[in-house]
């Protein structure tokens, strides 16, 4: 659950005061889509000491919950799930999302049914049943929304009205306009709910009467100030990969501390083809940063030899990164900080920053794989931002537009795009396949229409025929998705002609691949990366 109040404080408090306590990216929508960072969030679930009774003038409440769990499960993972009943007695506008809808229904006399057979994950069609201020300019007759739930409300709570339904969830949107309590089963905060931001616009501006105070441009000066205050006169080494996240971090910290920043590019042997040459040239020549190259590819590959478990891969890479940086830091006086391009989705999917029982999805070096004995302190100025916010910030920092628009690339690199054991042969094959795929996207004007795309090498060999010869070679998987923040994603619908072109190119150009497949699974239930 979330509670909030309008704030006259500076933009930092308006936005970040509650960021550590959120399990869904509401602040992204409020700040970017609605421009309403005057909403202040505080945790209410499982930590009642931080509850609404400590907020003198609460203004708006968002209800969500500990993931897609049944509302009758009061004990999850050994933790008692509680809520503050006071929120329903203070006549505060409330919007319940997914679990929040189910909780509202339960509290007000509705009924929730647990269903394992008729689940809704991914796209669903929402049909209008009655007009509502909440759905104005969002829902005419029907629209596409994004679902992620097993349980469903089957009985309308007392004094509530049905607004909209899907095929599997008859009570998808409900409302009590007298008490300004609203509930939606789908996720309007994700980009794959068509025009989902309008739900928040309606709720915040038409129902809650909130005034806007926040904008993206204010983040640059705030973050620079925060870095200065944290680092002071100490030196910072920055893990620079050439991706948009690490690049923005490097330029941001450079503006804050200038010569006290040392950027290190570690060649793990697991980066994309030509990645290091391009990145080094840009930051050394154009931005005049202090950039050091460290070739550690043999070390990484030796440590990863015969390792197939994805968690072990990630943690080996993470630990090696830290060792390399700490070893280098010893050679420089007053180095106390390590800067990383960790984003908010990384935190959400690696550990619970909210105190909720969010399952761990990621565990690479940026987030979940850091050794406890690490001597360097972390600087992660982007950890409460999403990818699109980082790109906007990059523009403010005059970052190269090609880097800004570059597709996301995971911290562990190609290691998590080749399930199973890593070998030099596989790495060479995968680098070439990925290069041809990305180049084809650029050649056909598709690269900037796609949020992320990559080639992966599956630990499967299949039979093929080339000329008069029988082959037994690897299967290459291609993945291209559309998204806005990486929290949800859907596959990009290529034309058949393009798929034929890239398939032929990969198979004909790369020895070791005789079959190409395309991944059409959305997130959820899948993830973007394979491991």
Q: In sequence order, what DSSP letters do the residues of 125-187 get, joined into one string?
A: EEEE-S--STTTTT-SSEEEEEEEES-EEEEPPTT-EEEEE-SS-S-SEEEETTTTEEEESS-
- Is it the case that residue 16 has pLDDT exceeding 80? no
Q: What is the spatial distance between Cα 510 and Cα 516, in angstroms, rounded to a whole number?
A: 12
Instruction: Considering the candidates 33, 34, 98, 263, report the single residue annotated as catalytic.
Output: 98
476 is known as an active-site residue: no
Whole-angstrom distance, CA of residue 23 vs CA of residue 349: 10
Whether the predicted pLDDT of 1 surpasses 80: no
Task: Give the tens place of pLDDT for each residue, 150-195.
Answer: 888 999 999 999 999 999 889 999 999 999 999 999 999 887 899 9
Whether 66 shows a pLDDT value over 60: the answer reads no
pLDDT tier for residue 126 given thresholds of 50, 70 and 90: very high
Average model confidence (pLDDT) for the chain? 81
- Same fold? 2-207, 423-518: no
Identify the active-site residue in 120, 175, 189, 529: 189
Residue boundaries of the structural domains of the chain: 2-207, 218-404, 423-518
The CATH number of 218-404 is which of 3.30.230.70, 3.10.28.10, 3.30.43.10, 3.40.50.620?
Answer: 3.40.50.620
Judged against a pLDDT cut of 50, whether residue 52 lies above it is answered with no
Q: What is the mean pLDDT of residues 283-310?
A: 94
Whether the predicted pLDDT of 35 surpasses 60: no
Which has more pLDDT, 347 or 12?
347
Please give the average per-residue pLDDT across 290-308, as a whole number: 94
Q: Which residues pair with 480 in a beta bridge?
A: 453
Task: Read off the pLDDT band of 318 (50, 70, 90).
Answer: confident
**Residue 187 designated active-site:** yes
CATH entry 3.30.300.10 includes domain 423-518: yes
Active site residue 208: no
The pLDDT of residue 3: 31
pLDDT of residue 372 exceeding 60:
yes
Structure tokens at 201: 């616009």
Catalytic: which of 69, 187, 364, 365?
187
Identify which has the larger pLDDT, 88 or 423.
423
What gap in Å lies between CA 59 and CA 37, rounded to an integer? 13
Domain 2-207: give its CATH code: 3.40.50.880
């Amino acid at each position: 659950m979330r509670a909030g109040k309008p704030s006259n404080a500076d933009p930092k408090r308006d936005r970040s005061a509650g960021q550590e306590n959120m399990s869904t990216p509401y602040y992204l929508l409020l700040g970017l889509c609605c421009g309403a960072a005057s909403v202040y969030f505080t945790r209410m679930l499982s930590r009642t000491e931080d509850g609404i009774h400590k907020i003198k003038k609460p203004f708006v409440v968002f209800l969500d919950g500990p993931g897609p769990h049944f509302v009758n499960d009061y004990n999850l993972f050994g933790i008692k799930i509680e809520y503050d009943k006071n929120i329903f007695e203070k006549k505060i506008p409330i919007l319940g999302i997914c679990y929040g809808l189910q909780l509202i229904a339960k509290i007000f006399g509705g009924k929730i049914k647990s269903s394992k057979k008729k689940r809704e994950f991914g796209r669903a069609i929402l049909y209008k049943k009655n007009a509502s201020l909440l759905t104005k300019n969002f829902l005419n007759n029907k629209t596409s929304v994004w679902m992620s739930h097993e349980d469903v409300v089957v009985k309308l709570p007392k004094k509530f009205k049905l607004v909209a339904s899907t095929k599997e969830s008859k009570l998808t949107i409900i409302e009590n306009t007298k008490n300004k309590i609203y509930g939606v089963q789908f996720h309007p905060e994700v980009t794959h709910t068509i025009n989902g931001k309008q739900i928040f616009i309606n709720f915040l501006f038409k129902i809650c009467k909130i005034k806007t105070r926040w904008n993206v441009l204010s983040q640059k000066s705030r973050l620079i100030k925060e870095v200065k205050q944290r680092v002071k006169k100490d030196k910072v080494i920055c893990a620079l990969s050439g991706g948009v996240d690490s690049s923005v971090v490097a330029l941001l910290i450079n503006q804050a501390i200038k010569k006290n920043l040392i950027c290190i590019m570690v060649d793990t042997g697991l980066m994309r083809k030509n990645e290091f040459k391009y990145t080094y040239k840009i930051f050394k020549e154009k931005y005049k940063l202090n950039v050091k190259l460290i070739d550690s590819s043999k070390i990484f590959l030796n440590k990863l030899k015969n390792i197939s478990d994805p968690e072990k891969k990630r943690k080996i890479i993470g630990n090696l990164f830290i060792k390399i940086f700490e070893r280098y830091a010893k050679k420089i006086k007053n180095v106390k900080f390590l800067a990383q391009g960790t984003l908010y989705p990384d935190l959400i999917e690696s550990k619970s920053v909210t105190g909720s029982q969010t399952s761990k999805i990621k565990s690479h070096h940026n987030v979940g794989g850091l050794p406890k004995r690490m001597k360097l302190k972390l600087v992660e100025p982007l950890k409460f931002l999403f990818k699109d916010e980082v790109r906007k910030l990059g523009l403010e920092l005059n970052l190269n537009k090609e880097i800004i628009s570059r597709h996301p690339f995971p911290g562990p690199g190609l290691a998590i795009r080749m399930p199973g054991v890593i070998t030099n042969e596989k790495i060479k094959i995968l680098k070439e396949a990925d290069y041809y795929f990305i180049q084809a996207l650029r050649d056909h004007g598709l690269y900037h229409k796609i949020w992320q795309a990559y080639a992966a090498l599956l630990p499967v060999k299949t039979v093929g025929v080339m000329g008069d010869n029988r082959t037994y070679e690897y299967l290459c998987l291609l993945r291209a998705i559309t998204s806005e923040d990486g929290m949800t994603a859907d596959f990009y619908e290529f034309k058949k002609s393009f798929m034929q072109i890239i398939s032929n190119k990969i198979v004909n150009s790369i020895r070791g691949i005789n079959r190409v497949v395309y991944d059409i699974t959305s997130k959820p239930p899948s993830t973007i990366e394979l491991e």
